[in-house]
Structure formats: structure tokens, C-alpha cells
């Protein structure tokens, strides 16, 4: 099995099946993430409450059979808000990572393909971006553009683009020396055609695999920004915003921040479990012999 | 060693220049006029012109750039639009708090993380390894603000072990200051342990798979000698690099921890400047962060040379 994995790394394709097969924990991680995603999708069917309308008679109630995670200072059911918040937080994170994957991947391929000055310019800029802590970068971008869903996506995407550029550049460098690329030159194909149809397919697998790793980070950044108050404005529920609300009432209602944060922790942890399995599969050196 | 250090120092100058240029461009492509942001829409044209002149944004871009660069190199980051004090003064007031928090969390991370990772690698696929991997993965999955809130709710409020909020405490009272530092540092430290342990484990595993380890083993050297003298020292290089990289992560996380514990620091300053639209302060803070990140990379580079003589000699 180790051999098949090693072989696959050479061709830069690791199938999902192999990753899942390689570790039980990856399975658990995937299962948790799928369940959470389904819960977000079917949120209205999983709760009798509304995430936004307030109930002055049920303010800051402790967790009970009626309100699993208690209620917040406006009398809203925290569990319901977490469910609806998952829609927004997951959506922003996934869209941002996919956008970063496309832009960063393209930049990496262009840098690796043209080499020389183009490469130096692109990678220099990427290095500078990379030298900024992801959270601070996100903070600056949202602060400058203003807090909205689009701007959050832009901010998170910008912080992850350089990572994808690096991941895409490395295999491009080796692929472009292959004979079939030389054949493409000989046939007079345009640069764009070569990059899109002949290099991209070889790079795609690796970029996709790394993408799954960055969703965890994206979720954390989104939650952190909303916690600071730079996320989507209330009353729209977001994970970071709910935890902030709980934090503001932590003396009266410590359960809000505790449970809401626990939910975020579980999701990030599950994604990291998946990421761990992926990394092990990509890098067989770290696996048992 | 001195030549190596100097070379590295010189090499970091262009990076710093590039970063400053990016900051200059970034701050200027922001939509919205800072003058309007500060003075409000109702300000008269004259007042606005006066304001633009006072902060130097009435000049052509290239001149602004030169002035900006000159100022930064002289350690002048301008006046805070909100408080009127110099940015340098505001930053240096709180910087020690952020630095001590960062350093303390790195120490916690390294002291607990490296042994955890090393033993995890030595006992690979045993129970201890699984446990250590789960613990470290859990540690790094924590959003910084969540672990801070948990510690605060349960260790400060419920059990009253630590002060709930931090405040300015002079170093003349070191014990109280450390006491206030403990919980924030522990919050960030737990996350760091996760990262450092994982890095240590994987780099140790990589080293243990090398040919020279097999040679050392087959020479009949004692196991401890193989693991620690031949293995650990070589594993230390990547551990150091990545710890250097995590410094950036830590600076980001420290913003959150500082907010939760209401600790003085760059975090409070950055959030304050965002709220009051204090552009000079924001720009100054970005420069400060950039400076420290370049510095961290430099220190990491130099410590390479100390740990691995090959790096120094190749240069």
C-alpha cells in the first residue's frame, strides 16, 4: 500500500478513496464535516425557532430541553443561531478557499511556466503577502474595504492565495520540462493552451488536496474577524458573532460562548483530521514503514 | 559567524523595502478619502484641503512615497489621527506587553511541544504517539479567542485562580506582572504546543529515516545517543524554521487574546484604530508588524547558522 501511495504522489494524484482508506481518524473527520454541512443545509428543518426574531421573555436562559445551547441576551435560541450561522461561515470559507485556489493556482502556474522575471515578480509579491500573519492581513483588508460578505471572502482569499501559488508552482516547474510539453511547443500551441490543457491537469490534484487543508484556517479567520466585530453585521448569525455575544455576557451566561465555541472547535478539528490524513497520504515519509 | 550574520542582515533590507512599498500602495488604494473619514461629510472644502496638507496627502504620489520611506527609516510613523500623540509613542507604550506575551507563548510552546513531538516520533504508532497527535491537533484547532474565553470563564471567574482582566503593571512589580501574563500566555501557549509538537514529530521522523541514523544504529551506538545526538540535532533545523514562521501566526492570535483579556498591546491598538478610522495609526501598526516579521525571519535565519554549520559554510 505504501508503494501504491508513493507511485501516486509521483503522478500527483491521490484519490479520496486512498486517503480515507489510510486512516480511521480521517473517516471520523470527514463524517463530522459532512454532518455539519448537512445540518447547515437543512437548518430550518432541525429547529422550531427563528434565528433572528427576539423573545424578551426568554433572555439568557440556561441550556435546557427546549434550548439546547440556552438563549442569548435577546432571547434567541443559540443552537438555532449556530445552525444558521454555519450556513454563512461555511459558505464564506469555502467560497474564499475556492477563489484563492483558482487565483493562486493560476499565478503559480504562470510563475512556474514562464520562469525568469515573471516568476521572480510573482513569487516576491507572494512572499511578502505570506509574511503577513493571516489574521492581521484579513483584519487590514476588511478594515479597509468594510465588512460585508464579499469583502470577507476577498480578505480570506487574499490571505490564502500565496499558499496556493506556491503549491501550484512547484509541480509546474517539473512538468514543463517533460517531453510532451516540448511536443506542444513543436506543434506551435499557444502558451495559454499549454498551461490550461497540459499543465493544469497535472497540478490540479495537489492544489485541490491542499485546498481541503485551508478551509479549516478560513473558518478560523472568519470566526476571528466576526469575533472582533469585522464580520457580517448582527443580527445575521455568524459563528464568531455568536461567540462574541456570549463573551459579552460571559458572567451571566458562560454557556453561550462555551458551547458555541465548542462547535467551532469540533468543526475545525474535524477538518484538521481530514487534512492530517491527506498530508500523510501525500507525504509517505511520515507514514509508518 | 559575524560575516554570516551581516550577510543575512543585508539580505533582509530589500524585503523590508518591498514590504514598506506594498504597505504604501495598500493604504493608498483604499476606497474613501481619509480626510472625509476623519472630518465627516459636512466639513468645508477649505478644512479638507488644510487637513490633506497637514498629513501630506496633497503632494504627488512619488513625493509622498519618498517622504513616507524617509520618515519610516528615521523611525517617524506620523501622528495618530485619534489621539494626536506620535504613533511611535503609542506603539512603544504597549509593545512590551505584546512582546512579552509572544515570547512567553513561544517558550511554553517550545518547552512542551518539542519533547511531545520528539517522543511521539520515537514511539511512532504506539499509544503515546496517537495521544500526543490528537492532543496537538486539538491544540492547534482552537481559535485563539475561544481558548482565551474558556480559560477566563473557568480559571479566572469560576475558580478565581487568575485575574480576570489584565492592566498596565510596571515591571517594578514583576510578580504581579507575570501573574497577569500567565493566563493569556497559556492560552496562546497551548495553541503553540500543538504546532511545535507536530513540526517536531514530522521533522524527527524524517531524520530518523535517514541513512546516517541507520549507520549510527548499526555501529552499535547506544539508542539514546542515536536519537538525541544524531537525530535530534538535525531535526532541530526545520523545527526552528517553522517556529519562526509561527511567530506571525502568534502575532495574529495575540490580537484576539489581548481583546479577550483586555490586555494592553498591539491588538487593542489595532482594533481601536479601526474603530476610529485612524489611518496613520493603522499604517504605523502594519509597519510595526512587518518590521517584527522581517526581524523574526532574520533571527530564524541566523539561528540556522548556529544549529547547522552547513548553512553557514555554504553561504
Cross-chain residue pair B293–A131, CB shorter than 8 Å: yes
Instruction: Find the CATH number of the domain harbouring A260.
Output: 1.10.3720.10
Does domain B94-265 fall under CATH 1.10.3720.10? My reply is yes
- pLDDT at residue B315 greater than cutoff 50: no
Would residue A150 count as lying in a domain?
yes
* H-run or E-run covering B7: helix B2-28
Å between B175 CA and nearest CA of chain A: 27
In chain B, what residues touch A140 (CB-CB under 8 Å)?
Answer: 26, 282, 286
Indicate the average pLDDT of chain A: 82
Indicate the average pLDDT of chain B: 82
For A106-161, how does the pLDDT look when each residue is reduced to its tens digit (9 = 90+)? 999 999 999 889 988 888 888 777 777 788 888 878 877 777 888 899 989 988 89
- pLDDT at residue A6 greater than cutoff 60: no
Name A77's bridge partners.
Answer: A71
Between the ranges A197-206, A260-269, B230-239, where is the mean pLDDT highest?
A260-269
State the best of B125, B142, B143 to mutate against chain A, taking most chain A CBs within 10 Å: B143
Tell me which of A63-77, A218-232, B37-51, B256-270 is least confident.
B37-51
Tell me what the mean pLDDT of segment B125-136 comes to: 89
The domain containing residue A241 runs over which residues? 27-41+76-286
Tell me what the mean pLDDT of segment A195-218 comes to: 83
Cross-chain residue pair B206–A131, CB shorter than 8 Å: no
In chain A, what residues touch B282 (CB-CB under 8 Å)?
Answer: 140, 143
For A212-251, how does the pLDDT look when each residue is reduced to its tens digit (9 = 90+)? 778 998 999 999 999 988 888 878 888 988 999 888 888 8
Looking at residue B180, what is its pLDDT? 81
Instruction: Tell whether A43 lies on the interface with B, counting CB pairs under 8 A.
Output: no
Find out whether A90 and A176 touch, Cβ atoms under 8 Å: no
Chain A residue with minimum CA distance to B244:
A131
Half-sphere exposure of residue A269, counting CA atoms within 13 Å on the CB side? 19
Would residue A161 count as lying in a domain?
yes
A with B: how many residue pairs have Cβ under 8 Å apart?
A: 126
Torsion of CA A142, A143, A146, A149, to 10 degrees: 20
For B23-82, how does the pLDDT look when each residue is reduced to its tens digit (9 = 90+)? 787 777 665 566 666 666 677 777 777 777 776 667 777 888 888 888 888 888 878 877
In chain A, what residues touch B125 (CB-CB under 8 Å)?
Answer: 288
Rounded to whole angstroms, how far apart are CA atoms B45 and A29?
A: 59
Number of domains in chain A: 1
Q: What are residue B30's phi and psi, to 5 degrees?
A: -60, 130
Looking at residue B305, what is its pLDDT? 72
In chain A, what residues touch B152 (CB-CB under 8 Å)?
Answer: 250
Q: What is the pTM of this model?
A: 0.83
Half-sphere exposure of residue B118, counting CA atoms within 13 Å on the CB side? 19
- Of A249, A79, A101, which is closest to residue A167 (Cα–Cα)? A101
Instruction: Tell whether A179 lies on the interface with B, counting CB pairs under 8 A.
Output: no
For B142-161, how does the pLDDT look when each residue is reduced to its tens digit (9 = 90+)? 999 999 999 988 888 777 77
Find out whether A83 and A54 touch, Cβ atoms under 8 Å: no
Chain B residue with minimum CA distance to A217:
B141
Would residue A236 count as lying in a domain?
yes
Give the model's confidence band at B12: pLDDT under 50 very low, under 70 low, under 90 confident, else very high. Answer: confident
Would residue A18 count as lying in a domain?
no
Looking at residue B167, what is its pLDDT? 66
- pLDDT at residue A289 greater than cutoff 90: no
Please report, for residues A123, B24, B25, B73, the alpha-carbon distance to residue B65 in angstroms, rounded to integers and kept in the order given: 23, 7, 9, 12
For B182-200, how does the pLDDT look when each residue is reduced to its tens digit (9 = 90+)? 899 999 999 999 999 988 9
Angle, alpha carbons A134-A138-A139 (nearest 5°): 115
Hey, what's the cell of B267?
A: 491588538
Cross-chain residue pair A128–B125, CB shorter than 8 Å: no
Would residue A35 count as lying in a domain?
yes
Residues 6+ apart with CB under 8 A from A170: A108, A112
Looking at residue B32, what is its pLDDT? 59
Amino acid at each position: 500500500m505504501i508503494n501504491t501511495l508513493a507511485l501516486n504522489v509521483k503522478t500527483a494524484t491521490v484519490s479520496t478513496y486512498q486517503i480515507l482508506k489510510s486512516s480511521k481518524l480521517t473517516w471520523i473527520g470527514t463524517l463530522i464535516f459532512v454532518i455539519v454541512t448537512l445540518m447547515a443545509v437543512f437548518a430550518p428543518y432541525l429547529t422550531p425557532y427563528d434565528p433572528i426574531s427576539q423573545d424578551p421573555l426568554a433572555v439568557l436562559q440556561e441550556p435546557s430541553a427546549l434550548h439546547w445551547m440556552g438563549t442569548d441576551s435577546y432571547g434567541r435560541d443559540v443552537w438555532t443561531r449556530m445552525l444558521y450561522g454555519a450556513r454563512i461561515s461555511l459558505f464564506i470559507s469555502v467560497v474564499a478557499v475556492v477563489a484563492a485556489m483558482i487565483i493562486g493556482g493560476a499565478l503559480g502556474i504562470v510563475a512556474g511556466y514562464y520562469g525568469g522575471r515573471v516568476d521572480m515578480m510573482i513569487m516576491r509579491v507572494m512572499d511578502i503577502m505570506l509574511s503577513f500573519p493571516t489574521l492581521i492581513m484579513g483584519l487590514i483588508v476588511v478594515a479597509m474595504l468594510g465588512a460585508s460578505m464579499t469583502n470577507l471572502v476577498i480578505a480570506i482569499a487574499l490571505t490564502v492565495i500565496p499558499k496556493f501559488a506556491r503549491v501550484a508552482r512547484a509541480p509546474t516547474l517539473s512538468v514543463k520540462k517533460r517531453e510532451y510539453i516540448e511536443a506542444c511547443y513543436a506543434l506551435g500551441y499557444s502558451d495559454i493552451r499549454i498551461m490550461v490543457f497540459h499543465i493544469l491537469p497535472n497540478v490540479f490534484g495537489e492544489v485541490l488536496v491542499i485546498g481541503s487543508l485551508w478551509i479549516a484556517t478560513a473558518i478560523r479567520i472568519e470566526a476571528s474577524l466576526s469575533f472582533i466585530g469585522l464580520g457580517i453585521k448582527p443580527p445575521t448569525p455568524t459563528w464568531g458573532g455568536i461567540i462574541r455575544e456570549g463573551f459579552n455576557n460571559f458572567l451571566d451566561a458562560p454557556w453561550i460562548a462555551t458551547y458555541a465555541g465548542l462547535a467551532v472547535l469540533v468543526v475545525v478539528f474535524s477538518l484538521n483530521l481530514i487534512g492530517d490524513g491527506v498530508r500523510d497520504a501525500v507525504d509517505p515519509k511520515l507514514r509508518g514503514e | 559567524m559575524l560575516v554570516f550574520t551581516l550577510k543575512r542582515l543585508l539580505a533582509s533590507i530589500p524585503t523590508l523595502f518591498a514590504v514598506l512599498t506594498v504597505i504604501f500602495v495598500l493604504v493608498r488604494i483604499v476606497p474613501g478619502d481619509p480626510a472625509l473619514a476623519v472630518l465627516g461629510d459636512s466639513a468645508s472644502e477649505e478644512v479638507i484641503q488644510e487637513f490633506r496638507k497637514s498629513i501630506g496627502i496633497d503632494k504627488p504620489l512619488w513625493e509622498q512615497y519618498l517622504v513616507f520611506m524617509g520618515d519610516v527609516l528615521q523611525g517617524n510613523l506620523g501622528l495618530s489621527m485619534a489621539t494626536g500623540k506620535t504613533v511611535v509613542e503609542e506603539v512603544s507604550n504597549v509593545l512590551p506587553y505584546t512582546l512579552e506575551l509572544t515570547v512567553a507563548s513561544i517558550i511554553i510552546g517550545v518547552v512542551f511541544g518539542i519533547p511531545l513531538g520528539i517522543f511521539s516520533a520515537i514511539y511512532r504508532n504506539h499509544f503515546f504517539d496517537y495521544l500526543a497527535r490528537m492532543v496537538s491537533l486539538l491544540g492547534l484547532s482552537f481559535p485563539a479567542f475561544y481558548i482565551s474565553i474558556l480559560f477566563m470563564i473557568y480559571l479566572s471567574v469560576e475558580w478565581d485562580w487568575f485575574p480576570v482582566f489584565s492592566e498596565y503593571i510596571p515591571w517594578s512589580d514583576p510578580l504581579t506582572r507575570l501573574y497577569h501574563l500567565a493566563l493569556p500566555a497559556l492560552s496562546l501557549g497551548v495553541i503553540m504546543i500543538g504546532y511545535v509538537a507536530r513540526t517536531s514529530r514530522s521533522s524527527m521522523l524524517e531524520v530518523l529515516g535517514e541513512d546516517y541514523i541507520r549507520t549510527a544504529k548499526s555501529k552499535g551506538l547506544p539508542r539514546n545517543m542515536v536519537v538525541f545526538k544524531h537525530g535530534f540535532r538535525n531535526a532541530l533545523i526545520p523545527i526552528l524554521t517553522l517556529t519562526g514562521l509561527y511567530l506571525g501566526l502568534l502575532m495574529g492570535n495575540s490580537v484576539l487574546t489581548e481583546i479577550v483579556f483586555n490586555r494592553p498591546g498591539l491588538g487593542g491598538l489595532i482594533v481601536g484604530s479601526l474603530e476610529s478610522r485612524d489611518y496613520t495609526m493603522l499604517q504605523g501598526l502594519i509597519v510595526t508588524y512587518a518590521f517584527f516579521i522581517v526581524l523574526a525571519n532574520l533571527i530564524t535565519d541566523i539561528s540556522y547558522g548556529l544549529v547547522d554549520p552547513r548553512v553557514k559554510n555554504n553561504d
